[in-house]
């Protein structure tokens, strides 16, 4: 009798629960507004090769307005990982002594990105700069010895080539179209982990962190919080469409490991540098010829600027592209070809995407008025034509860059020669204590009339070399000597 009563009790409870559930579903269906669920698929990865790549001298083609949600990383990772390789840079130092020959081996490792089906690979210059043997391991374990096509220490980029065909590779995306807060993937191939993929967001753009030790450096990094550790340098930063939008280059760390800040060279700048290295062996860099400074709030108020943004011109080099166009000290550059340049790195990046002889539109403030002006870019030497790789390399190997004197400089100094516009740290020339601004008038007592003559005279010299000349702001004549092998 008690068992029967208990079963009735539990049965009644169960029936009540079922009816309550059905009533709740009925009421929810009547009260809740209809909802539309949209499932967005990721765009398929698109590939190209360098031969068919867009002209880097024009603005990159606008990419589709696509911003994937964080759960759409799979296709981007699948597109990127086969194109990211491991790079071993091996230094072999052979010496001879009483005990015979000895070889010391050192190596460093990094990552690289295949950007053409026939074996072109982009990486960081610091990954391969000390190596005399470069070994590339693909994602499928195949190994190749790579040749160095060219390097650009100013952007910390290098272009390699392996003899292979039908390789997976990535298309360049438009780094200018990135938004702060947008999701990105960092893909590397460190030596002992094979491919690694980490996700993060774009934290900032146009960052300069003073890691490149050159006067002509271009630092306008994409900052992300995607984890990038040593061994991933030179790897790919891709958007959620699987497009290459940066080359991972550096981290800020106190421990030597990732601490939340990683930096990548923007793809728009990298594409121009890489195509120059492929086509010319050296970067054809157009320059404005201005000395610049940041805008402060005090300076913005003094110049009647609408905001604290832009690049202040402190001095214009005589005979430069800026001088020819009519830019003056005191002007504030706020845009290049329609792209805002609120900071020095942003302006350097935009100008760095163009070659000598290209015309760019510079937007600037003068006397509180906004104006546009066309500027034909020149080389550091003051030319609008492309430079010869062997000549420029010879000067860089010695440790300096020079340009022809302008007509006003010749009239003022009453001399002919070439002006030293840059000296590289650790070079032969730096050890002579020569300073930028020195005007070379003679090489071993032979007169220098222009840059071509200067290069020709240096080519014919071996052993002790004496450079004589003057400074614009120091009286007297000066001489610097060094040895050429």
Which positions are catalytic? 126, 156, 233
Nearest one of 197, 203, 207, 277 to 237, comparing CA atoms: 197
Handedness of CA 230, 233, 235, 241 (dihedral sign): positive
Residue 4 vs residues 8, 10, 270, 336: alpha-carbon distances, Å: 6, 10, 83, 89
- Which residues are CB-contacts of 327 (< 8 A; sequence separation ≥ 6)? 288, 290, 313, 316, 333, 362, 364, 373, 375
Question: E strands, 164-289, where?
Answer: 183-188, 196-207, 221-224, 236-239, 244-251, 262-266
Nearest one of 88, 85, 123, 109 to 273, comparing CA atoms: 123
Handedness of CA 158, 280, 456, 417 (dihedral sign): negative
Cross-strand pairs, 147 = 161
Distance CA 382, CA 91 (A): 38
Helix (H, G, I), strand (E, B) or coil at 192: coil
- Give Dmax (Cα) for the chain: 127
Nearest one of 286, 308, 442 to 353, comparing CA atoms: 286
Q: How many other C-beta atoms lie within 10 A of the C-beta of residue 303?
A: 17
Q: Report the chain's C-alpha Rg in angstroms.
A: 30
């Amino acid at each position: 009798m008690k068992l029967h009563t208990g079963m009735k009790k539990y049965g009644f409870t169960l029936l009540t629960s079922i009816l309550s559930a059905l009533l709740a579903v009925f009421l929810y269906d009547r009260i809740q507004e209809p909802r539309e669920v949209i499932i967005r698929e990721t765009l398929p990865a698109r590939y190209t090769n360098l031969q068919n790549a867009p002209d880097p001298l024009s603005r990159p083609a606008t990419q589709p307005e696509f911003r994937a949600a964080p759960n759409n990383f799979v296709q981007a990772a699948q597109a990127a990982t086969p194109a990211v390789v491991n790079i071993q840079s091996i230094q072999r130092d052979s010496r001879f002594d009483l005990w015979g020959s000895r070889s010391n081996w050192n190596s460093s490792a990094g990552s690289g990105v295949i950007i053409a089906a026939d074996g072109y690979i982009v990486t960081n210059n610091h990954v391969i700069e000390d190596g005399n043997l470069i070994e590339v391991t693909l994602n499928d374990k195949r190994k190749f010895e790579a040749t160095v096509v060219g390097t650009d220490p100013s952007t910390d980029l290098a272009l390699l080539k392996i003899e292979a065909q039908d390789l997976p590779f990535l298309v360049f995306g438009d780094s200018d179209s990135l938004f702060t807060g947008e999701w990105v993937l960092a893909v590397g191939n460190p030596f002992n982990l094979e491919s690694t993929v980490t996700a993060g967001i774009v934290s900032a753009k146009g960052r300069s962190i003073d890691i490149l030790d050159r006067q002509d450096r271009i630092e306008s990094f994409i900052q992300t919080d995607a984890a990038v550790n040593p061994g991933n340098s030179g790897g790919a930063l891709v958007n959620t469409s699987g497009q290459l939008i940066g080359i991972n280059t550096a981290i800020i760390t106190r421990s030597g490991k990732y601490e939340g800040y990683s930096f990548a060279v923007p793809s728009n700048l990298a594409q121009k540098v890489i195509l120059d290295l492929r086509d010319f062996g050296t970067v054809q860099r157009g320059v404005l010829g201005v000395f610049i400074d940041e805008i402060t709030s005090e300076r913005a108020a003094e110049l009647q600027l609408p905001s604290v943004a832009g690049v202040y011109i402190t001095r214009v080099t005589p005979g430069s592209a800026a001088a020819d166009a009519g830019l003056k000290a005191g002007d504030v550059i706020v845009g290049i070809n329609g792209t805002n340049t609120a900071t020095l790195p942003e302006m350097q990046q935009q100008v760095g995407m163009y070659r000598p002889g290209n015309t760019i539109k510079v937007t600037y403030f003068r006397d509180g008025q906004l104006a546009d002006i066309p500027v034909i870019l020149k080389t550091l030497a003051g030319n609008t034509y492309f430079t010869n790789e062997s000549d420029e390399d010879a000067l860089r190997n010695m440790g300096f860059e020079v340009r022809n004197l302008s007509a006003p400089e010749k009239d003022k100094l009453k001399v002919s020669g070439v002006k030293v516009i840059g000296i590289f740290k650790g070079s032969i020339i730096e050890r002579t204590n020569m300073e930028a601004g020195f005007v070379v008038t003679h090489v071993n007592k032979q007169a220098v009339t222009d840059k071509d003559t200067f290069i020709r005279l240096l080519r014919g010299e071996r052993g002790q070399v004496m450079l004589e000349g003057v400074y614009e702001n120091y009286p007297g004549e000066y001489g610097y000597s060094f040895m050429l092998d």
